[in-house]
Structure 1
Amino acid sequence: MKRIILLITLLLTIPVSLFAQKESILVIESYHAEYPWDASYIEGLKDILKDGYDLQYFEMDTKRLPASEYDKRAQMAWEKYLELKPSLVILGDDNALKYLGKKFSVTTTPVVYLGINNNPRYYDMARFDNITGVLERPLMKRSIKYIDDFFEVKKVLILFDSGETSKVVHTEVFSGKERQIFGGIIADIKLIDNFGTWQKSVLEAKNQDYDAIIVGLYHTLVDDAGNHVDANKVLGWTSDNTPVPPFAFWDFTVGKGKAIGGYVLFGKAQGKKAGELALKMLADKNHGRIPPQTADNGQLYFSRSQLEKWGLTITGDMVSKTTFIE
């Protein structure tokens, strides 16, 4: 009997909060967990949300699946939401917002998007009190300027796959054209769906008078049989075979056997900003309409091994502003 009384006494002294179930947050990824961008912004989300919430995930996998599967994956994500009934939903990148934004607009569930390249008005998301988020803006002009500061360029080739984000960048930054001039530097952009075509563009870059290649996104390329080509294979082949120095717009493209670097974006910054917005929406149910925001600006980020491979040196004021890896 004494043991029973002691056990009851101990249970009564344990804080009630330890028995409370954590609020769930559903993160719907446009892509997949192994994609470096997703891994990076999820790390940022966890930094802000810490252990206070139960994060659940659904991967739409639109980097590897054909577009004909997107509607099906979106419906599966919606069913996950209905099953989970989360306190808040986070939509990672354009495809998640494009295929699910309107469904959430008729709910009262708070929704935070991140990594959005398009204007939210394009998805009719600018007028709902329960939806806001973080915009992603590839820093192309500034990155090209920094490259020119230590490695003189007159003409650069920007390579992208033909995924949704690539199409948005082409429309928003290049106005749908193949060529723009940034600060006197000719910048040509190519949207490519086939790995063989990508390889040919890389190999011919020097003969086409390009001084550098800037690797954008390369994750939806397919081979001649229509099979998805692993992104690491594309990046490794490009690094090994390009006749001109390869630079980057995103941090995950930089490193040994990859691109040299550049003024790049980090997914982690997107995740942190989205996490802050999520906390704000959860803490104040009467927050009203919150305008979309941008995350921290990019960062100069370079690989020492790749700089050495190409005989390049960063000097002067750029050194103190640069993060070097390896």
Structure 2
Amino acid sequence: MTKLSRLFTISLLLLLPLVAMAKPHILVIESYHQEYAWDQSYIKGLESVLADDYQLSYFQMDTKRIPSSRHRSRGEMAWQRYLDLKPDLVILGDDNALKYLGPRFAKTKLPVVYLGINNNPRSYHVHQRKNITGVLERPLIKRTVATVSTFMNEPPKRMLILFDDSTTSKTVLKETFGGNTQVNVSGIKLELRLMSSWSEWQDSINHLEEEGFDAVVFGLYHTLRDDKNKHVPAEQVIAWSAKNTSVPPFGFWDFSIGKDKAIGGLVLFGFEQGRLAAELAHTILTTNVVPHSLGPKTGEKGRYLFSRSQLERYNITLPDSINSKAIFID
């Protein structure tokens, strides 16, 4: 063996352990952005399962903050990132990622796991694809409303539920209430409003008592735009709303609860969506099981989350049946 051959052989042997140690690569395509509390929460759930054994890359579609006219082009950029990285599996976070990318991945053999999906996967033409499965998100609107009525000092007769007019909000309205904006739940008259502008949202908050509402629930508020068509930061929306509401405010998601936010409720946590999706991804990559055979799965049934300071502000005492199970954020 020549000296050159020996050097080549030694170099190859040194590289073999590195090749053997290469971690499977997972690309996470987020519908939104990593400053968004929901994304932060489900990413923690993903990483709690996958961080040690997988290489994770992220692409943010940012569809909460950019105009809807640019959503498709962000989907194209996400697809290009997939082509560039050639991952072993893709995770699609929330409806917009599945809407714009699901049908394209359905034509491949790459395993795909979605999470945070409010719509029926059938609407995105992925429900029977063998390479795709995931986790559904079902906001606990009716159960939260029924729960609130058990601990308010005076049982509410009318409640307003506020949403922005995002894809998720429209889907929640369709899936939960069949598109109706006025419904009766547990003897409470609910009115649901989808808002695109910050001024409309503020106007609703400013006239709650005048319109006869006993409580308000903050749904999603992350795509509101001001009179100059500029995106209004979500933290600004929730802080202003909590400060200016004249009736007790509640929420459906963990990110809307806390000091200077909503009082609480029976809420969904992004962490659980991420954890379940990560477990599906791990199973697929370690067993070569057909993804479709694993699901879809539905996320947890919700947990009680409350702000102590907001409970005190509105002089609300939780019954023992709820207090004993609740998580308190401050």
Which TM-score applies when normalising by structure 1? 0.94
Shift of the alpha carbon at 1:122? 0.8
Cα distance in 2, alignment partners of residues 251 and 191 from structure 1:
20
Measured after TM superposition, the shift of residue 170 of structure 1 is 1.1
The answer to whether the aligner puts 1:163 opposite 2:169 as a matched pair is no
Superposed displacement of residue 209, structure 1: 1.0
Deviation at 1:61, TM superposition (A): 0.2
The equivalent of 1:293 in structure 2 is: 297
CA–CA separation in structure 2 for the residues paired with 1:221 and 1:295: 27
Counterparts of residues 79-98 of structure 1 (less than 5 Å): 79-98=80-99
CA distance in 1, matches of 2:29, 2:214: 39
Say if 2:205 and 2:241, in contact at 8 Å, map to a contact too: yes
Question: Cα offset for 1:52?
Answer: 0.5
Structural RMSD (CA): 1.8
Aligned to 2:156: 153
Which residue of structure 2 aligns with residue 3 of structure 1?
none
User: In the TM superposition, what are the counterparts of 1:227-306 in structure 2 within 5 Å?
Assistant: 227-287=230-290, 289-290=292-293, 291-306=295-310
Q: For the structure 1 residues 14 and 109, does the alpha-carbon distance in structure 2 shift closer, same or farther, using more than 3 Å as the test?
A: closer
2:226 to 223, 237, 256: 223
How has the CA–CA distance of structure 1 residues 127 and 18 changed in structure 2, closer, same or farther, with 3 Å as cutoff?
Answer: closer
Which residue of the partner structure matches residue 325 of structure 1?
Answer: 329
Q: Deviations over 1:269-293 (max 9, x none)?
A: 0000000110111122243622210
Once the 2 structures are TM-superposed, how far is the Cα of residue 175 of structure 1 from its aligned partner?
1.0
- Matched residue, 2:77: 76
In the TM superposition, what are the counterparts of 1:156-235 in structure 2 within 5 Å? 156-235=159-238
TM-score with structure 2 setting the length: 0.93
Q: Which residue of 2 aligns with 1:6?
A: none
Question: Within 2, Cα distance between the matches of 1:40 and 1:79?
Answer: 26
Counterpart of 1:312? 316
Q: Distance in 2 between matches of 1:63 and 1:288?
A: 29
Residues 161 and 190, structure 2, Cα contact 8 Å, conserved in 1:
yes
1:129-152 CA-to-partner distances (Å, cap 9, x unmatched) read 100000000000110111111012
Structure 2 SS opposite 1:208: coil
Gaps of 5+ in 2: 1-9
Contact 2:283–2:289 (CA under 8 A) maintained in structure 1: no
Q: Post-superposition shift, 1:30?
A: 0.2
Aligned-residue offset at 1:14: 12
Give a deviation string over 1:32-77, Cα, whole Å, max 9, x none: 0000000000000001113111110000000000011111100000
Question: What percentage of aligned pairs have identical amino acids?
Answer: 51
Residue 67, structure 1, aligned to residue 68, structure 2: yes
Q: Which amino acid aligns with 2:267?
A: V
**Deviation of residue 297 (structure 1)?**
1.4
SS of residue matched to 1:198: helix
C-alpha deviation, 1:17, in angstroms: 6.4
- SS of 1:127 mapped into structure 2: coil
Which whole-Å CA distance do the structure 1 matches of 2:242 and 2:323 have between them? 24
Tell me, in whole angstroms, the C-alpha distance in 1 between the residues paired with 2:308 and 2:146.
20
- 1:321 is paired with a residue of what secondary structure? coil
- 1 CA distance for matches of 2:286 and 2:141? 36
User: Deviations 1:218-238 (Å, cap 9, x if unpaired)?
Assistant: 000000111111111110100
Report matched runs for 1:86-125 at 5 Å.
Answer: 86-125=87-126
C-alpha distance in 1 between matches for 2:77 and 2:125: 22
CA contact (8 A) 2:111 2:291 kept: no
Mapped to 2, the partners of 1:99 and 1:123 lie a distance apart of 8
Residue by residue over 1:305-325, the C-alpha shift from the partner in whole angstroms, topping out at 9 and shown as x without a partner, is: 111111111122111111112
Q: Which amino acid aligns with 2:273?
A: Q
Partners of 1:108 and 1:13 lie apart in 2 by 33
Aligned pair 1:51/2:52, yes or no? yes
Structure 1 unaligned regions, length at least 5: 1-8
Which shifted more, 263-272 or 165-174?
165-174
- Partner residue in 2 for 1:5: none
